[in-house]
Amino acid sequence: MATRDPLTLTLVYGSTREGRLCDTLVNWAAEQIRDVPDFALQVIDPRDFDVPADFPNAASASVRQLQNRLTKADAF
């Protein structure tokens, strides 16, 4: 039986505001998923990117980096 590459499962934090609760959820979910051999886990925190509050005409380098990471995901 042929083996397949693991699916890239991406957890994305749902908020950038102070006092957010998604840290707890992402940490719990990552702990549950981390050792499952069928998944390659990627965690994305929008706070790590300089994401503008409005929608500019052109994406910044930071937004392009975020887009690149998101396109590598097989599932969210």
pLDDT single digits (tens) 5-39: 999 999 999 888 888 899 999 999 999 999 999 99
Q: What type of residue sits at position 57?
A: N
What long-range pairs does 32-39 form, CB within 8 A, spacing at least 24?
33/9, 37/6, 38/6, 38/7, 39/6, 39/7, 39/8, 39/9
Q: Give the model's pLDDT for residue 23.
A: 93
Q: Give the model's pLDDT for residue 49.
A: 86
pLDDT tens for residues 29-67? 999 999 999 999 999 998 898 877 676 778 888 888 989
Q: Give the model's pLDDT for residue 2.
A: 59
% of the chain at pLDDT higher than 70: 95
pTM for the full model? 0.78
